[in-house]
Amino acid sequence: MSTITTAVVDLDLTGPTISRHVYGHFAEHLGRCIYGGFWVGEDSATPNVRGIRSDVVEALKDLRIPNLRWPGGCFADDYHWRDGIGPRDQRPRMVNSHWGDVVEDNSFGTHEFMDLCELLGADPYVSGNVGSGTVQEMSDWVEYLTRGDDSPMAALRRANGRDEPWKVPFWGLGNEAWGCGGNLRAEQFASLARQYATYSRNHGGNDLYRIAAGANADDYHWTETLMRSFDDLSREPGEKPGPFQGLSIHYYTMSGTWSDKGSATEFSTDEWYATMVAARRMDELLTRHSTVMDRYDPHGKVGLVVDEWGTWWNVEPGTNPGFLYQQNTLRDALVASVHFDAFHAHAGRVVMANIAQTVNVLQAMLLTDPESGALVLTPTYHVFAMNAAHQDAASLAVHLRDVPVRETAGAQLPLVSASASVKDDAALISLSNLDAEAGRTVVLDLRGRGVAGHSARVLTAGTANAHNTPDAPAAVAPRAHDGVRAHERGLEVDLPAHSYVTVSLDLS
């Protein structure tokens, strides 16, 4: 008989707001993410708007995509923005040395990206070049994008066809400065971040939220060094920190090693559990980085941005190893749900997160088939869709009791993960069963407010490695869940093996 787990939720005791921006996305010039994913060109037979693929835009709008990070990633610190403006047939070519060593023609540049964000209704998050760029280059890019008068860069933008400036709320100061962004020491980068932030100016009504390239996984020294570089953070809570406002961390989930990450679709039960242990590590990372930040920033002024996260497997056989194309299974979906539980739990510090990446790369939302042109929604896409009501809702603590635990490679893996939020008279509870083999029952002990009605959805499949293809696009897709019953404490919810369930509550 399976263990019954209790989840206590006080519906009237709200915590910090879950920023919609933790549901952000990432699009790098890597493999078929931009070219063949977002961008097909105006002459393509694939339906498009000014060269941007229409079905991709509509699918992402359905997720309420809040922001999009571009142009990288490692690519950002090789990217010189002036190469991507002006007539496309006159733009210089460049070598994408990080990803496949291919030559690209810069046909997708600043104007195309900003057009994409406007079509999506998403805020742009632009990553500036610290690694191989200059302070002047970054300063000019901000002016080009956001200034509205007759300044030199504003005039250049108008000459290239855009009269009004854009709104750019998020600005990245480099990427992975500890690695592909310059192989810098933390102390070196902290000084550069202050300098580049100073010259990334606010123009007109555009107020930049500057994000310094932060730590690799558990490099707490990097976070501490950046925190030490801030101006006095002990002043009144309402004052904006300077010279930048946020810092990032990157963490990827895998069950193997960097040299052999394992297959995206062919994995053992042990590899499933090892993956879930790795995914749940995100909560530990957020806790420890936040502890470092709290020491210097007791008022929580500085935001933590997880602007690269997700699974990383070996590429699909027969594809370019530099393009990082991998399939996306139910296992990836559960990795995503566990990450969102962590982001929700740390809503007071985590202001943004960006899954890597949006189309055709790593843990993608969407896959486009180069032969048939078909668009496939991945299992991870469905987790984002099922979680949409968490965006900008108040977080609710979920106290789990009697959670079954599995020992995996010396680690203790709790087999149920959960989070909840409330907005107005509606609440959403997300439940993940990480048991690859057995179903579970969870009692929702609902307190503080009455429940007038409920509905539920479930995402699962017959096998843990189920995934969607052009021939079977709905092999893993959400459906209405009838495994929810009234209980004296609230509701009783059945969680099938390897499943994700959301329960929506109408509150009275």
Residues designated catalytic = 176, 308
Amino acid type, 407:
E
Query: Angle at Cα 455 formed by Cα 450 and Cα 456, nearest 5°?
Result: 125
Structure tokens, 35: 């070219």
Angle at 356 between CA 351 and CA 357, to 5 degrees: 120
Cα–Cα–Cα angle for 247, 253, 344, nearest 5°? 55
- For residue 292, give the 3-state DSSP assignment: helix
- CB of 390 within 8 A of CB of 340? yes
Residue 349 has phi, psi (to 5 degrees) of -120, -35
Three-state SS annotation for 464-492: CCCECCCCCCCCCCCEECCCEEEECCEEE
Which residue, among 440, 373, 366, has the nearest Cα to 403 in the 3D structure? 440
Q: Distance (Å, rounded) from C-alpha 43 to C-alpha 50?
A: 9
Q: Amino acid identity of 203?
A: H
Residues counted in the chain: 508
CA-wise closest residue to 398 among 378, 422, 425 = 422
In the structure encoding, which two tokens stand for residue 424, read together? 């107005």
Q: Which of 197, 311, 198, 184 is nearest to 247 (CA)?
A: 197
CB 7 within 8 A of CB 444: yes
Asked if 489 and 446 touch (Cβ cutoff 8 Å), the reply is yes
Separation of alpha carbons 314 and 311, rounded Å: 10
Enter the tokens of residue 272: 């499933």
Taking the C-alpha atoms of residue 77 and residue 128, their distance in angstroms, rounded to an integer, is: 7
Does the bond joining 379 to the residue before it have cis omega, within 30 degrees of 0? no
Instruction: Tell me how far CA of residue 407 lies from CA of 92, 273, 464, in angstroms.
Output: 55, 9, 19
- Among positive and negative, which fits the CA dihedral 61, 67, 73, 78? positive
